[in-house]
Every structure is written in structure tokens, then in C-alpha cells.
Structure 1
Amino acid sequence: MESGLYLPTNNPNVINSKQEFDPIDKFLWPNMRFGVSYNGGKWFEPSKYLTDYFTDEAIKVIEKNKNRPFFLFLAHWAVHTPLQASKEDYDSLSHIPNHRKRVYLSMIRSLDRSVGRILKAVKEEGLEENTVIIFTSDNGAPNYIGLPDVNRPYRGWKLTFFQGGIRVPYLAKWPGHIKPGTKYDQPITNIDILPTLADAAGAKLPTDRLINGVNLLPFPKGRTSQKQRALFWSDGYYQTVQFKGWKLIRTEKPNKKWLFNLSSDPTEKNNLITEYSDKRIELENLLLNHNKQMIKPLWPSFIEFPVSIDKTLDQKQEEEDEYTYWVN
């Protein structure tokens, strides 16, 4: 399902927040529509605020499939730009003076409501004990919405590989299988969802290809401990590897490398690249081996632009500010 605006910009039930300092945001408002489409079909206007509409559709899936196994992937458009809140959510947060922040938090409120409604529907249909529910995200918040505190205490934003860009919530619920309050401290990634849910469903993974993800179910149950593994991120020449509490970030634009000990410096304030050359070499060799296993891109990147690591897009950029490039 594709989507665009959350409501028409002139709808009496919508509150808009336009970022005049962001050229992409200025492009989105006149060029996006309030509509959805199914599987590349014709676009149509949903009946209500987009987050609530998607939730309604998800609950229909639960109700119609309650008597057979099903997989539901609910990928909300929220809280993606353009920033639009429902008037109901916006009015409920009248204690927040900053308009942009109030709209953004109102969008999060609608997302919270969606999670609650999904959990309620699963329970009311008698599926709670036999349903695995995972809540996570694809990246941290971006700097182009102009909210400086949104990823704190971590550095960086969406489009960067600093913790603010790649460290996200990851919660799982399965009564009788995952004890409430269980915490798992090892780094994990969204590619672990496939083998985890396959194990929960009693399905076998394909054997004709390499599955990089790890089945996480045994670990909260205490049946075994996970061996520490390297995690990789790649965006053209901008690449990162994290292994055993250490993290290497490198980019050709600018030609720079960062090395962090996340165990002692989780907010990535101290670049140790010149002090631990042995660790840098170890992590670079992991990246080298990983890159050898990857196929070449089918087409070249067509856009790249700098992203400040520590400042929002509306803040004045100084010559000494650190930055990386987003390549797409």
C-alpha cells in the first residue's frame, strides 16, 4: 500500500507544519496527494486521517484471518514527513508551545493509539496467546524536521550511521513464550525478523540461499546465548561495521573515519581512530570481507548531499561541524 499526505492540507481536521528551511519539504507539499493505492492499483482517498485508516485496515485483516495462520506487516507512514497531525491529537497536547514539536508529538500519539488498538483487537479475537507481535522502526528521526532533541542522547540522524540514525526501539510480545520485562542486550537487526518468525511458526527457512538474520527466540527463553556478530550498514561509499562493542564509520565524502567504543561511549563523543589502529584494522577487515560477498549495484546513485551529524537543518552550519554524505 502506497501513501502520501495524512489528510488534505485544507481539511478542517488537520494541522500542518511546513518547514520552509527544507527544500525537500517545500517540494512535498504541492506534489503529494491525500490518497492510497493497493498493489499499484488506482489511487483513492481514504476515509480518515491516514494513521487511523491504516489501523482500521489492519484490524480488518486480524478479524478476517482469525481462524487461520496469518502474517500482518503494518508499515505506518507516520511519523514521516510531511508533518500533519489530526486536530484531535493536536488539541490534546495544548501544553506544548512549539508548533512543530506539537504536530510531531501528535503524530506519535496517533501511532501509539494504533499500537493500542492492534493489541486490543488481537486480544478480543482470542489470539493473544498465539500471536507474536514485534514493534520496531527502520531508522531514527531526521535532522530536516528541525527538532534538535528528538534522538537524544544519541548523535546523528536518519541518513547517518551514528546511533541516532540506526538505534531504534525493538519490542516483542508473545505471552507464554517471552517473559514480560525480559531485556536482551545484544545488538540485533531487522533482518532477524524473518528467521525469528519462521521459528515461531514452525516453518523451515530456504536452503538455497544464505540467510543473514538470526533466530532470536531462544535467547529470551534462556536456552542459549548468542555469539557476538558483526552488523553492517552500507550506503555507497559510506559504510559502517559494529562488532563486540566497537564501531567503525568511514566515508569518502568527507574522507574521514570514526572509531567508537560503544561500551564506554554509547553517545559517540570520543573518536578513537588515531589511538586504536589495531581495532581499526580489525573492523576494516570485517568490512572488506563483507563487501566481497555483496553484488555490485544494478544502477548508479543519482543524488548525494551532506548531512550534519550534530545539527538540525535549520541551525547555522559552522566550518568545524562534522558531517557525512547521504548517497541515493
Structure 2
Amino acid sequence: GKTGLGLVADGMTELDGMVGQLLKKLDDLGIADNTIIVWTTDNGAEAFSWPDGGTTPFRGEKNTNWEGGYRVPCVMRWPGVIKPGTEINHVTSHEDFVPTLVAAAGDATVTEKLLTGYQAAGKTFKVHLDGYDQRDLLSGAGPGKRHEYFYWTDDGNLAGLRYERWKLVFMEQRAEGLDVWQDPLVTLRFPKLFDLRADPFERADREAGDYARWRVEHAFALLPAQAFVGKHLMTYREFPPRQKPGSFSLDQVLEKLHQPVSGSK
């Protein structure tokens, strides 16, 4: 390969060149100063497939409940709004892109409109959008609006919650490597607690000798978490899930086989 560091490094080098081509094209078209660019990825590194997959300093990887499965890079260029060199260390989510970018395009009330029915492209969209308009955060005009993040799994289970600096783990993946795709997450009777500002790599429960005492003494963090989860779950009354999540499980395959087959002409 070009880098001598494996498939991922070569792929990143190729991507870097593609980004350069895109930026040059925007300059050539004369629209660079009126274009928002977002560079990010969909999930954490798939570390088990290294060196063909990525790596991460955070615990876990893709398809786990740990930070290594959810934290992703995000680089943005927004001329006139985001100052070059800005670094933001605040809780955000990809769910914030829709309200933020639609607001940038002229409609700052899309989240509210979606609750009652939003007309676009000849269709009506009525959904609950778990996103926030983060223009103030990006521009430096004010704080971020998101204080919570829900760790949903690909099976549709709530594995954890982060609010501010605290992370509660309701389900944990104890397997490693390829086994994270084989073994189920374990539901905990008493949530694990992490202070992600002091322990961003979630090592305390495995390596700190006094974690058990610290965990009990900080059980007060569970109370605000109940309010965040309760408020979130209330939205499912009017906006229940529209489809089941994908699964590799045999139970779901058998369920599909037992469903009646509709005729077609």
C-alpha cells in the first residue's frame, strides 16, 4: 500500500485526497463561502478487524455499549459562523445535524413542525426528532443545548445514558473482538457509573481498587437519570418505533418465516 500501514491507513490517505478534490471544486464553482461542510463517520472503530479495521483509545468498539463504539470524529467548516481552529468539547449527536442545518437553511422550527406534520418534497413527515439546533454552540454565541445522550443498541435496547459528565450503563458487552457480534449484552440490575470527564476511557470499574465504594457514594447521579429516561420514553406514546431493528438472531428469522406471504401479480 501507499502508507505501508495497512488498508485503513491507505483508505484514509485516499479519502484525504478526495476531500481535497471536493474543496477545490467548491472553490472553482465560487460557492465555498456559502457551503457548510461536515466530515464525520457513523460509528466507532471496528477494532476486531484491525489492521483492515480502525483502532480507538476508547473502551470497546463498534457494536458495544462502550465509548469506543459511539464516539466519532467530526470536522466542520462553516464560513462566517465557525471560527477556524475552534475545538468543541460538549455533548452532541448526529441527531443534531437536521435541526441545525435546516435552521441554517432558514427554518429554525423544523423540530416543532415535525411533531404536527411537516410538508417537504410533496410528502408529510410527522416524527419526533431527538435533535437540537446547535448553531449557538458552533458559533460560540452560547452553550450547547444537548445535555443527554442515549446509547441505543442495534437491537433496539437502551444500553446506557449520558447526561453532562455522568454515564450510566444499563447493559454491557463483556465480550471482545469478533465475539461482540456473537454474544449478547448483559443487563445489569444496578447500573455501572462513570465520570467521563475524569475517566473518559471507562477504566475505573476494571482497574480502580476503590470503584465499588465510589460507585455507591455517587449513586445520587441515578436520580437525574430517571428524569431524562422518563421524558424520553414518554415520546414513544405518540411516536412509537416504526419498524423492528435488524437482527442476526434465529428467533427473528423464524418469526419472518411464520408471517403470511402476500400475493403479487
What pairs up with 1:1-150 in 2 under 5 angstroms? 90=1, 92-94=2-4, 96=5, 102-147=6-51, 150=54
Coordinate RMSD, CA, aligned? 2.6
Q: In the superposition, relative to structure 1, how do residues 181 and 299 fare at CA in structure 2: closer, same or farther (>3 Å)? A: closer
Point out the structure with the larger helix share.
Answer: 2
**Secondary structure of 1:152's aligned partner:** coil
Structure 2 residue aligned with 1:290: 232
Distance 1:226 1:299 in 2: 32
Structure 2 residue aligned with 1:214: 132
Distance 2:74 2:245 in 1: 32
What pairs up with 1:300-319 in 2 under 5 angstroms? 302-303=247-248
Preserved CA contact (<8 Å) 2:150 2:158: no
Q: Specify which of 119, 144, 166 is matched with residue 70 of structure 2.
A: 166
- TM-score, normalised on structure 1? 0.57
Size of the alignment, in residue pairs?
A: 209
Q: Deviations over 1:150-190 (max 9, x none)?
A: 44321110111311111111111022222101122211111
- TM-score, normalised on structure 2? 0.70
**Secondary structure of 1:286's aligned partner:** helix
Distance 2:130 2:101 in 1: 14
**Secondary structure of 2:97's aligned partner:** helix
Distance 1:233 1:103 in 2: 29
**Which segment is superposed worse, 117-126 or 139-148?**
139-148
The alignment status of 1:224 with 2:224, answered yes or no, reads no
Structure 1 residue aligned with 2:170: 250
Percent identical among aligned pairs is 28
Preserved CA contact (<8 Å) 1:183 1:220: no
Distance 1:237 1:199 in 2: 31
Distance 2:98 2:87 in 1: 20
Unaligned runs of 5+ in 1: 1-89, 97-101, 306-328
Q: In the superposition, relative to structure 1, how do residues 208 and 164 fare at CA in structure 2: closer, same or farther (>3 Å)? A: closer
Distance 1:221 1:188 in 2: 14
Distance 2:96 2:245 in 1: 28
Distance 2:77 2:196 in 1: 27
Unaligned runs of 5+ in 2: 116-127, 173-184, 206-210, 251-265
